[in-house]
Structure 1
Amino acid sequence: MEELSLNILDIIENSLKANAKNIEVNIIEDDNKDLLLIEIKDDGVGMDEDLLKRVFDPFTTTSANKKVGLGLPLLKLEAESCDGGIFIESEKGKGTTVKICFRKSHVDTPPLGDIASTIVSVLATHPEVNLHYRHEVNQKVFEISTEDLRKICSETICTPLVLNGIRGFLNEQIKDLHGGA
């Protein structure tokens, strides 16, 4: 995928298919460590050891409608080609954690992309899910959750006007994390 926010959305969609009710998205950008780390945690059904061993095989999928699952195998290849990697921890009945790291300065490291739209897309299509988003850039942190948003918004967070406002707010916060640039 051209930008990592689409990979994040794909992993979140996998979490939702696994009946996750709570999802955490953590992004760390550290120039001193030359690191871009993305972590997605969920409390879905998790994977057994057999599936976990095969998860990077493109012919492994849990979807009845597809014969291949290319998202994770291609993301693994992309991360490894940028001096990084992907690590998955999962336990049946407890959930899954996916960590993807890249050498931030590597010429082939994809851009993070439109993470605000990714978050808003999840809020719009799955308002019942508790989503916690944390983004750190060189030790400067912004975080928000659907619980926070529900407290702030007197109306449902699923209206177009509110979702557009949330997208704008997230974009401003991300811009501020990067020094306003």
Structure 2
Amino acid sequence: MKEISLHIMDIVQNSITADATLIEVSLDIQYANNMISIAIRDNGRGMSKEMLAQVTSPFVTTRTTRRVGLGISLFQAGTQASGGEFCIDSTEGVGTALQATYGLDHLDRPPIGDFAGTMHTLIVSNPDIDFLVTVIVDGAQDVLDTREVREALGNDVPLDMPDVSLWLRENLDEMFKPEYTDF
């Protein structure tokens, strides 16, 4: 995939397929340490130990519509090609956690892409799922928690309502400034 945000979308789609009700996505940019770190955690079905041991193989998938699963293997390959690391852990009935790091100034690191737009699309396309989105840039942290948004608005106001969707997009754009998109 050409952008890190597309890897995030792919992994979050796996979380949605695993019936997660809470998905946490963290993007941490550390200039001083020359790294970008992505963490994704869900409370979905999780994976068996056998599946977890094979999940980074491109020839393993739980989908019945195709025989290859390239998302996780491509994510792992991209992190490693840029001097980073990739780790995934999962427990059946508990959920899955993934951590990926990239060398910030590494030639082979893909651009971050439209992180704010990706997260906005995921949130409004899945209004019944809660998202905890964290963006950290050199220690300065911004958080968007849809549980807090629901509490403030009332549970009867859907997150995909146009005014709410616009507010979410504006807040995500403030968290992940447009100048980071091509970074």
Measured after TM superposition, the shift of residue 169 of structure 1 is 2.2
Which residue in the other structure is 1:173 paired with? 175
Q: How does 1:1-181 map to 2 (within 5 A)?
A: 1-153=1-153, 155-175=157-177
Change (3 A) 1:124 1:176: closer
Measured after TM superposition, the shift of residue 43 of structure 1 is 0.6
C-alpha contact 2:120 2:172 (8 A) present in aligned 1 = no
**1:157-176 CA-partner distances (Å, limit 9, x unpaired):** 21233213321221123229
Aligned residues: 179
C-alpha contact 2:144 2:172 (8 A) present in aligned 1 = no
> What TM-score comes out, normalization by structure 2 length?
0.91
Measured after TM superposition, the shift of residue 65 of structure 1 is 1.2
Q: Report the Cα distance in structure 2 between the residues aligned to 1:61 and 1:130, rounded to whole angstroms.
A: 25
C-alpha contact 1:47 1:91 (8 A) present in aligned 2 = yes
Aligned residue identity for 2:106: H
Q: Which runs of 5+ in 1 are unaligned?
A: none
Measured after TM superposition, the shift of residue 64 of structure 1 is 1.2
Of stretches 140-149 and 160-169 in structure 1, the one that deviates more from structure 2 is 160-169
C-alpha contact 1:142 1:177 (8 A) present in aligned 2 = no
Q: Report the Cα distance in structure 2 between the residues aligned to 1:60 and 1:110, rounded to whole angstroms.
A: 24
Q: Report the Cα distance in structure 2 between the residues aligned to 1:164 and 1:110, rounded to whole angstroms.
A: 28
**1:59-118 CA-partner distances (Å, limit 9, x unpaired):** 100111121101111111111110012100111111000111011111221111111111
Residue identity (%): 31
**1:96-142 CA-partner distances (Å, limit 9, x unpaired):** 00111011111221111111111111112211111100110000000
C-alpha contact 1:137 1:177 (8 A) present in aligned 2 = no
**1:40-64 CA-partner distances (Å, limit 9, x unpaired):** 0001111111101110111100111
Q: Report the Cα distance in structure 1 between the residues aligned to 2:85 and 2:71, rounded to whole angstroms.
A: 14
Q: Which runs of 5+ in 2 are unaligned?
A: none
Structure 1's consecutive aligned runs of 4 or more residues displaced over 6 angstroms after TM superposition are none
C-alpha contact 1:27 1:36 (8 A) present in aligned 2 = yes
